[in-house]
Amino acid sequence: MVKIPHKNQTDEELMVQIMDHHSESAIIELHRRYSVRLLGYFIKMLNKDVDLAQDFVQELFLKILEKKHLFDPKKKFYTWVFTIASNMCKTAYRSKGRSVTFEPTTHDHILPQHGENRAEKALFQTALEVSVAQLEEHHKQAFVLRYLEQFSLNEIAEIAEISIGTVKSRLFYATKKVTQDLAAFDPSFESTLFKLS
Amino acid sequence: MESFENRLFDLLENQSFDQLNEDDQLFVLQHLTEKEYQSQHLLMHKSAEMDFPVVAPQPLHLPKRKNAGLLISIPLYQALMGAAAIFIGVWFIWPKESQTNTDLAQTKNSVADTIYITQLKYDTVVIHSEKTLLAKNEKQTDTVYIYEASSPSSSRMLQPGMNQPQVILDEHIIKTKGKSLKEEDVTNLLPDLPKMGL
């Protein structure tokens, strides 16, 4: 019997090995595949708290081992793992409330001689981060998953365990709120902040 | 019925305000200004172009499992098969109660009971007796003639019945006589019979 390397196995096949044999090598392979993206998601959802986001990634993979029996091999692994991640953020948001410290991304490495566009892009990004951090948790989740993590509407519905209509409604109000905040930041942001070429 | 938020969202994600038809523009203007629609439309498309810094994740630290060799998780069907195999093995090896009790009972009975063996033996026993035993005697019958004495009948005597045989004593009858009881050998065997003087 030829043993298939973990690198050539799908996410679902690796989860089956974890479920049947508690395979540590399989969970390490899944960590290699998804830890970067999950860390980026946690950083955006936890208002740029990198240390907390690192702890959440570690805790998430321990939860995968703990709740491996809840995984349905017929479904996609990445939607299941982002569901766990979203629930962890929801719990953190409810426990800490809306008074979450926000540390906007520093763009010191972007020098003025690199062009106005890059500076304006950095400025726009800072303004966007501030605005997204102040969104309601369910609006923030929909906005980050759609426009920062590029998930489809169906995947967001599966991750958040809501209907597609609810996803569209949340995205509408989230984008409406952010545009209002950007307008408050710079009334002419349409012409200045959106020079992203 | 589709909510106005969903319809607006579909328009915002796919078309700029200038690309909308007249009906859609009228619908949008019922809820948003043209500037607001355009801002939301640009935000949806430009947000994806944001460059967020990539942070390297820390290595995964898995908890150490104690006695991992003994606590390896196995599928449920393997655990059930192992339990069934152990149960069958114990069932075959374990001594059965009824057989044990029977053996003990048999052992107990064989020690306590005494067996008597009776055999019939046939043999001739000669017994010498001092007393004379009673011999079997055959019945002898003899004819007895009775003569009637010739004497006047008295009134007190019963008149002979009619047609009664007349017994005549003659010499033949007198001469013929049997053995007296005294001469009989049988009297020797009779135990203590008083002599009748016969």
For testing contact with chain B, the best of A168, A180, A182 (most B CBs within 10 A): A168
Contact B6/A at CB under 8 A: yes
Q: What is the pLDDT of residue A111?
A: 39
Give percent of chain A above pLDDT 70. 80
- How close is the nearest chain B Cα to the Cα of A173, in Å? 8
For residue A57, list chain B residues with Cβ-Cβ distance below 8 A.
Answer: 57-58
pLDDT at residue B189, as a whole number: 76
Query: Most A CBs within 10 Å: which of B1, B4, B7, B9, as the mutation test of the A interface?
Result: B9
**Out of A65, A125, A173, whose CB is closest to B50?**
A125
DSSP H helices, chain B, are 4-14, 22-29, 34-46, 76-93, 97-112, 171-175, 186-189
Asked if residue B37 lies in contact with residue B20, where contact means CB atoms within 8 angstroms, the answer is: no
Residue A171 pLDDT grade (very low, low, confident, very high; cuts 50, 70, 90)? very high
Angle between helices A50-66 and A77-96 (to 10 degrees): 130
Over residues A76-123, the pLDDT tens digits come to 999 999 999 999 999 988 886 544 445 444 444 433 444 456 777 777
Query: For A171-175, B30-34, B116-120, which range has the lowest pLDDT when averaged over its residues?
Result: B116-120
Q: Which of B2, B42, B47 sits opposite A148 (nearest CB)?
A: B47
Any CB–CB contact under 8 A between B177 and chain A? Answer: no
In the predicted model, what is the mean pLDDT of chain B? Answer: 73
pLDDT tens for A117-131 read 677 777 777 888 889
- Measure the CA–CA gap between A53 and A41, rounded to whole angstroms: 8
**Is B8 a residue whose pLDDT tops 80?**
yes
- Helical ranges in chain A per DSSP H: 11-21, 24-45, 50-66, 77-96, 116-133, 137-143, 153-160, 164-185, 189-192
A145 falls in which pLDDT band (50, 70, 90)?
very high
Among A118-122, A159-163, A180-184, B77-81, name the most confident range. A159-163
- What is the C-alpha to C-alpha distance for residues A75 and A59, in angstroms, rounded to an integer? 22
What is the nearest CA distance from B78 to chain A, expressed in angstroms? 11
